[in-house]
Homo-oligomer: A and B are copies of this chain.
Amino acid sequence: MSVQERKQRERADRERLIVATARELAERQGWDAVTTRRLAERIEYSQPVLYSHFRGKREIIGAVALEGAAELAAALRAATAAADGPRARVAALAHAYLDFAERHPAVYDAIFQLDGGLPYARDDTPEPLKDAFAALLETLGDVAGPGVEPGLFTEVFWSSLHGLATLTRAGRLPPEFTETRVAVLTDRLAVLGPA
């Protein structure tokens, strides 16, 4: 039994190594640089070993996406927990979200742009993805305002942040006035005060 357990553990370790290496490569040089050959070389195994863990490159991207989604959720919760009042919480959320997108563009893409073979917005959506949306909902649900369902409001606010993040990174928006743009979003979209 113990031998099998050791093997399972080693296999799990190697799988984590693959995901971590893929992520590091993607963050450093972009997803185009994450080739099965390079990845295999980095983990010091041959290419087919990758395929004994994942069905293909797509699934490796998916694994990085799940890891990243968990981190994003944690970052959002940490940021909002440290803020007082609805406005500050929404602002902190927006800031943390865009910060994550800017600091981890490759991971962000794995979560929200690339095809990682993951089911989204469904019952069988993996927990980390559901939880990342839940983290958004926790803060944004409180400022949906009258007549707007919290989940739908969260989707809208999230989409706006996503649009800002992607257009800015793709060079379509000048990065200078991000702060002001976020302020417009926060002040107009969210229904903040009781007053």
**B171 lies within 8 A of A120 (CB):** yes
Copies of this chain present: 2
Mask of A23-42 contacts with B, CB within 8 angstroms, 1/0 = 00000000000000000000
Contact A159 B170 (CB under 8 A): no
Which residues of the other chain, B, contact A113 by a CB distance below 8 angstroms? Answer: 166, 170
Q: Mark A168-181, 1 if CB is under 8 A from B, else 0.
A: 00111110010011
Binary CB contact string for chain A from 95 to 114 against chain B (1 if under 8 A, 0 otherwise): 00000000000000000110
Contact B156 A159 (CB under 8 A): no
A155 at the binding interface (Cβ < 8 Å)? yes
Tell me which residues from 141 to 195 in chain A have a Cβ below 8 Å from any Cβ of chain B.
145, 148, 152-153, 155-156, 158-164, 166-167, 170-174, 177, 180-181, 184-185, 188-189
